[in-house]
C-alpha cells in the first residue's frame, strides 16, 4: 500500500481552494462547488477538498491507500475479519475504491487509480493550475538561470508541464522513466539501460555494460528486458541513437535500423538515429 492522497471536508470549497493555492498547491481538478484536487509542491502526492455534507457526523478527512492489487487485498482482509462499508467498485471519477472505517471511526479508502489520480481527462491546463501568487511574488520580474544539471524537482516540473500540454492530444501521460540494471554479488551495478516511455514509444537514452561483461550476451538481455517493460506499458516502437565509434552493429543485431544520420558529430564521426518495431509478428514467433 502507498499513502499518496488525502481528502478533507470543507464547508466552503472555493474558500479552501484559495487557501491551498496560496500555500503553493497546484490545482489539477475543479468541480465547483463540491470538489477540487491538487498536486503538492514537492513529490507526487495529491490532496483534495470535498464539500462536507450538511449535518454529517463523519470525521473531517479521508485517508487513501493506493493498492495495485486492490481486489486481492480486499479479499485477503475480508478473510481476516475486516469489515468493509463498500466493496471494490469502479467510480465515475475513474478510481476503483473500497471503503472502511478504522476502530475510531476514521474513514479509510483503499483504491487504485493509476495515472487517473494525477492525470484525469479533465485535468486543468497549466495556466489554470498555477498556484495563486502572493502580491509581491513577481514584483521584481522573472529570473533566468543556466546550470550544469537540473535538480530532481526541476526535472519533475518540466516533464510534468510537457505531459500536461500533450494530454489533450495523447490521452495518456508520457515521459515515464524506465530502466533495467545488472548487479554483481556485491550489488554493484555492472550494466544498465535507462530511458523513458513516451506514449507508444520507448526511448533508450543511456546504455552501458562493464568491460568484462561485453560480448557475453548481457547487453542483449538488458535491451530485451527494457523492451519487454515498454511493451507492457503499451509501447509499439523504440528509438535510440549511437555513434560511429560505438555500437551500431550491436543494435542492428538486435533489430534496430538507421533512419537518420548527423555527420561530423563529434568531429570526424557520425551520430546514428535508430528505430525498431516492438510489435511481435507471426514470423517472430515461428
Sites in the chain below the pLDDT cut of 70: 54-59, 127-143, 281-286
* Residue-level pLDDT at 133: 46
* Residue-level pLDDT at 149: 79
* Residue-level pLDDT at 286: 37
The answer on 225 and 124 residing in a single domain is no
Residues 48 and 7 sit within 8 Å (Cβ to Cβ): yes
- Residue 127 in grid coordinates: 495556466
Residues 5 and 47 sit within 8 Å (Cβ to Cβ): yes
Asked if residue 183 belongs to a domain, the reply is yes
Q: Write down which residue in 95, 112, 129 finishes a domain.
A: 129
Q: What is the CATH number of the domain that holds 279?
A: 3.40.630.30
In the 8-state DSSP scheme, what is residue 212? G
Q: Is 286 helix (H, G, I), strand (E, B) or coil?
A: coil
Task: Provide the sign of the torsion angle of the four alpha carbons 243, 247, 250, 254, taken in this order.
Answer: negative
- Other beta carbons within 10 angstroms of residue 49's beta carbon come to 24
* Residue-level pLDDT at 142: 63
Asked if residue 27 belongs to a domain, the reply is yes
Provide the residue range defining the domain that includes 270: 171-285
Total domains, the chain: 2
The answer on 112 and 193 residing in a single domain is no
The answer on 8 and 111 residing in a single domain is yes
Pairwise CA distance, residues 117 & 5, whole Å: 9
The answer on 192 and 100 residing in a single domain is no
The answer on 279 and 175 residing in a single domain is yes
Amino acid at each position: 500500500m502507498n499513502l499518496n492522497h488525502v481528502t478533507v471536508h470543507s464547508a466552503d470549497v472555493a474558500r479552501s481552494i484559495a487557501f491551498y493555492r496560496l500555500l503553493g498547491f497546484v490545482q489539477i481538478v475543479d468541480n465547483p462547488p463540491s470538489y477540487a484536487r491538487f498536486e503538492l509542491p514537492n513529490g507526487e502526492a495529491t490532496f483534495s477538498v470535498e464539500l462536507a455534507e450538511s449535518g454529517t457526523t463523519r470525521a473531517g478527512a479521508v485517508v487513501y491507500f493506493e493498492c495495485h492489487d486492490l481486489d486481492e487485498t480486499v479479499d485477503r482482509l475480508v478473510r481476516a475479519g475486516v469489515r468493509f462499508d463498500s466493496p471494490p467498485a469502479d467510480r465515475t471519477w475513474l478510481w476503483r475504491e473500497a471503503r472502511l472505517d478504522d476502530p475510531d471511526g476514521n474513514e479509510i479508502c483503499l483504491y487504485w487509480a493509476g495515472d487517473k489520480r494525477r492525470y484525469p481527462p479533465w485535468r486543468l491546463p497549466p495556466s489554470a493550475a498555477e498556484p495563486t501568487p502572493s502580491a509581491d511574488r513577481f514584483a521584481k520580474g522573472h529570473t533566468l538561470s543556466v546550470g550544469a544539471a537540473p535538480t530532481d524537482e526541476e526535472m519533475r516540473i518540466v516533464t510534468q508541464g510537457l505531459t500536461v500540454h500533450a494530454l489533450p492530444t495523447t490521452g495518456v501521460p508520457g515521459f515515464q522513466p524506465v530502466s533495467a540494471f545488472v548487479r554483481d554479488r556485491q550489488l554493484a551495478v555492472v550494466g544498465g539501460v535507462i530511458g523513458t516511455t513516451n506514449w507508444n514509444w520507448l526511448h533508450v537514452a543511456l546504455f552501458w555494460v562493464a568491460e568484462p561483461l561485453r560480448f557475453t550476451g548481457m547487453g542483449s538481455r538488458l535491451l530485451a528486458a527494457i523492451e519487454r517493460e515498454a511493451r507492457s506499458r503499451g509501447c509499439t516502437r523504440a528509438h535510440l541513437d549511437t555513434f560511429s565509434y560505438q555500437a551500431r552493429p550491436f543494435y542492428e543485431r538486435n533489430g534496430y535500423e538507421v533512419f537518420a544520420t548527423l555527420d561530423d558529430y563529434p568531429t570526424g564521426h557520425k551520430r546514428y538515429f535508430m528505430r525498431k518495431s516492438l510489435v511481435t509478428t507471426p514470423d517472430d514467433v515461428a
